[in-house]
Structure formats: structure tokens, C-alpha cells
Amino acid sequence: MSLNCARCIAVFFLLFSVLFSAQSINLNSLEQEIIQNNRLGNYKLSQKKLSDILLNVDLTNEERAHVVFFMAATYRSVGDYTMCIYNLGRCKTLAEELPADHRLKMRIDYEYAFVYFDNKDFQKSREVMNHIALQNYKNPFPEDQSYILMQEGFLFQDERKFEEAEAKYNEALKIMKTASPCNLPTVFVKMMTLQGKRKNVEKAEQIYEKSRALSDRCNILKYKIFAASEMERIYKENNLLGKAYLIGSELDSLRGLEDIESTVSEMHLTDKAYTRKGVFIKEESEHWKNNVFLIFTILIACGIVFYYYQKTSKIKIDKLKMMQELQEMKLEIDAFSDTQTKFYNGEKQFFLSSDELTNRQKELLIHMADGLSNKEIAEKLFISESTVKYHIKNIYGILNIKDRKDFFRRLSQNS
């Protein structure tokens, strides 16, 4: 194969590898971006970011599983629990190929517990929480652990075990202060609910003010709505209708800012559009990859054919040269045999008649005409090989001969 052809194929193979190699993404940075968007109520921005990555980036199986997990968390943040569960199912399928101790598998279990709880399917949430307890996961995310404690506290509260519930909430509060201070309103609201159950409205109001101040400081609209909605419910439950009306008016304004129903509706439309686009891109991508692979295969085949063509041509040329050399050798052998005969018949006495040659040198010339090597001549004459070389050098000088080949050539010419 020629060097240029080999280089072309090597370059094409390199480009082929680059085109089909997986691109890496920074999962930690991506998750922080999604969390920040969701806290600010930019759920559609999160969905678009994640959908674009799923469609346009060649992800590894692990990366794809994480991106789908972030999508599930986004849908839970917006309160679309059906889509959250659907994406968790996709994520779980992708995660099956990951090692048994992979942290994503733990996070999927936690997220299932949260979404079932948020959807008020407490039985399923309790089952998942029991499963988590049996797994004895190592190094869980502190924030997730805080949410689990809150859920356990709520279940105690639902059974009117208020002391146990309060202990769980305080434990969750302690962890959340360190893990994620801006998420403290999620604990505060649970504690408000507990005080409402105890008919301690004043205590609930104090906790509500803390939650409201923190939500303002962290600029998290959904937590403002979450806390105000719970405070409205506590007022109504305790027949404080005036206060309920005032906070209800404020709540309507906050909900108008968030416009969750419109957001969820737009996210569903976007998801359908991306799904259709994904199918189209997948078909186009497969078609493109097939064409590239076909071209690559044709180039390789052409390279192989070209290589064997050159190799075959070289073999033919080498064979032809070999035949020519054999023919020349045959002619030389024939000429040498004829020369030897004539040399002994006295027709080449012009070499041996020189008065400048000694008898030993003439004897050596006869052995040279017989085709003997220096070593063989030395053995015949019982002298050293270096002495033979010395005599031959002198003979060549006397007879004006260049080398042994010239010697036989001159014998042939004078035949």
C-alpha cells in the first residue's frame, strides 16, 4: 500500500473515531444549574437545557441516566408527579447497567420516596422508605436524608404521635441548616403543620415568619407559596377566617407570579416537541452514520484492493527480474564452462605466457579459472588464505585485471 493511501485511511479512521466518540459533560455543574433554575421557578429553562443535552450530546449510559434523573427532579419541583415518576422509570432502566453500589441508584430510591410522598401516596412512600432503610446506603446526600426525616416525622404526625414527629423535624432541621440553608422552609412548613395540629397558631405564625424571611432572602418563590398556603390552611382549620382571607389574597398574587398551570402545560408541549424532534434526529443520525460507515468500508476495501494490486504487480516485476537474472546467470555459467575448456586446451595461454608471472601465480590462476574460492585455493596449495589474496592482488596488477569478474569476462572475450 502506498504511503499516501495509508495516510488517507489513517486520517479518515481518526475522524471516524472522533465523530462517534462520546462527549463528556460536567454532571455536578449541570445539576447545580438545574437546581438554581428550579429554585427561581425557571422550570422551562431546566427542561430545555436537559432536553437539548439528551438530543444533541453523545452521552455515555451513566451520563444519560443522570440527565434523565435531573429531568425527573425538575418535574417534581413543578408538581407534575406523573412525569416525574415516568422519568424515574426511564432513569432506573438506564441505571440497571451501573454497579450495584452506584450512588445514582440510591438517589433514584430517595426520589421515588419523595414523589410518592408529595403526591400523597403515603403507602408507597413508606414502602420505599422501608426499602431504603434495609439497603443501609452509605454516604447518602445530607439534604435527601433531611427530607426522609421530614417524611418520617409527617407520618408520625399523621398518627398523632406529635413528640416523635417533632423530634424528626428538629433532626431534619439540624441537617438542613448545614446541607442547604435555603431549603429550610421545607422543614419550617412541616413544623407549622405540626403546631397547627396542636392548635398552637401563634407558634405556627412565628415559624411562618422565619420561612417567609428566608424565602425572600434566597428568592425562592415556590417556598413563599408553599408556606403561605399552609398558613392559610391552619387559619381556616382554627376558624380564623379574617387572617385566612388576608393571607389568601397575598397567596393569589404569588400564584399569579408563578403560574404553575401554564408552566406545566408548556412543559408538556415542549416535551412532545422534543420527543418528535428526537425521533427525527435519531433517524437522521442513524442514516448519516450508516452512510459514513458505508463510505469508510468502501475506502478500506479500495485500500485493500490497491494494496494487493501493488503487491501483485511487484511480485510480477520481481519474478520477471528474477527470470532475467537466471538467464544471465545461465549465460555466464555456459560462458565460464566454455572458457574453462578453452583455458585448458591452451587457447587462453595469453594469461599463462606472461614472463612476469611466477609458476605459483600461474598455478593459482588455473585454480581461479576452475572457479575455486580463495579458501579452496589455499587448501589446494597448502598456503594461507591471506597469501592467496596477496598473490591474486599481484596477479591483477601484472595482468591489469580489476577483479575476478573482470578476469572471467576477459577470458570470455578472448575465447
| Domain containing residue 393: CATH number | 1.10.10.10
| Contact present, 65 and 95 (Cβ < 8 Å) | yes
Question: How far apart, in Å, are the Cα atoms of 261 and each of 28, 230, 265, 395?
Answer: 30, 19, 6, 115
Per-residue model confidence (pLDDT) at position 366? 86
- Weakest-pLDDT range from 50-54, 98-102, 151-155, 285-289: 285-289
Provide mean pLDDT across the span 357-362: 86
- φ, ψ of residue 373 to 5 degrees: the values are -80, 170
Higher pLDDT, 349 or 386: 386
Conformational region of residue 259, where left means phi above 0, alpha means psi within -120 to 50, and beta covers everything else: left
pLDDT at 399 over 80: yes
Provide mean pLDDT across the span 165-189: 93
- Weakest-pLDDT range from 80-89, 185-194, 340-349: 340-349
| Contact present, 172 and 156 (Cβ < 8 Å) | no
- What is d(CA 192, CA 208) in angstroms, rounded to the nearest whole number? 7
Q: In which band, very low, low, confident or very high, does the pLDDT at 24 lie, cut at 50, 70 and 90?
A: low
Over residues 186-234, the pLDDT tens digits come to: 999 999 999 999 999 999 999 999 999 999 999 888 888 889 999 999 9
pLDDT at 343 over 80: no
Per-residue model confidence (pLDDT) at position 39? 82
Grid cell, residue 287, equals: 442514516
Q: Is residue 405 part of a domain?
A: yes
Grid cell, residue 311, equals: 503487491
- Total domains, the chain: 1
- Weakest-pLDDT range from 137-151, 182-196, 280-294, 380-394: 280-294
Grid cell, residue 410, equals: 576477459
pLDDT at 256 over 60: yes
Higher pLDDT, 208 or 251: 208
Per-residue model confidence (pLDDT) at position 156? 93
**What one-letter code names the amino acid at 48?**
K
Per-residue model confidence (pLDDT) at position 414? 61
Q: Is residue 60 part of a domain?
A: no
CA atoms within 13 Å, Cβ hemisphere of 183:
20
3-state secondary structure the chain: CCHHHHHHHHHHHHHHHHHHCCCCCCHHHHHHHHHHHHHCCCHHHHHHHHHHHHHHCCCCHHHHHHHHHHHHHHHHHCCCHHHHHHHHHHHHHHHCCCCCCCHHHHHHHHHHHHHHHHCCCHHHHHHHHHHHHHHCCCCCCHHHHHHHHHHHHHHHHHCCCHHHHHHHHHHHHHHHHHHCHHHHHHHHHHHHHHHHHCCCHHHHHHHHHHHHHHHHHHCCHHHHHHHHHHHHHHHHHCCCHHHHHHHHHHHHHHHHHHCHHHHHHHHHHHHHHHHHHHHHHHHHHHHHHHHHHHHHHHHHHHHHHHHHHHHHHHHHHHHHHHHHHHHHHHHHHHHHHHHHHHHHCCCCHHHHCCCCCCHHHHHHHHHHHCCCCHHHHHHHHCCCHHHHHHHHHHHHHHHCCCCHHHHHHHHHHCC
pLDDT at 116 over 90: yes
Over residues 260-269, the pLDDT tens digits come to: 666 666 676 6
**% of residues, the chain, pLDDT over 90:** 37
Per-residue model confidence (pLDDT) at position 23? 54
Per-residue model confidence (pLDDT) at position 20? 45
Over residues 290-325, the pLDDT tens digits come to: 666 777 778 787 778 777 777 777 777 766 766 666
CB atoms within 10 A of CB 297: 10
- φ, ψ of residue 239 to 5 degrees: the values are 60, 35
Q: Is residue 379 part of a domain?
A: yes
pLDDT at 164 over 90: yes
| Contact present, 228 and 250 (Cβ < 8 Å) | yes
| Contact present, 311 and 377 (Cβ < 8 Å) | no
Q: How far apart are the first and last CA of the chain?
A: 49
Q: Is residue 382 part of a domain?
A: yes
pLDDT at 148 over 60: yes
Per-residue model confidence (pLDDT) at position 286? 60
Q: In which band, very low, low, confident or very high, does the pLDDT at 18 lie, cut at 50, 70 and 90?
A: very low
Q: What is the mean pLDDT of the chain?
A: 81
Per-residue model confidence (pLDDT) at position 339? 47
Q: What angle do CA 40, 44, 47 make, to 5 degrees?
A: 110
pLDDT at 87 over 70: yes
Q: Is residue 81 part of a domain?
A: no
Q: In which band, very low, low, confident or very high, does the pLDDT at 281 lie, cut at 50, 70 and 90?
A: very low
Q: Is residue 408 part of a domain?
A: yes
Provide mean pLDDT across the span 6-27: 55
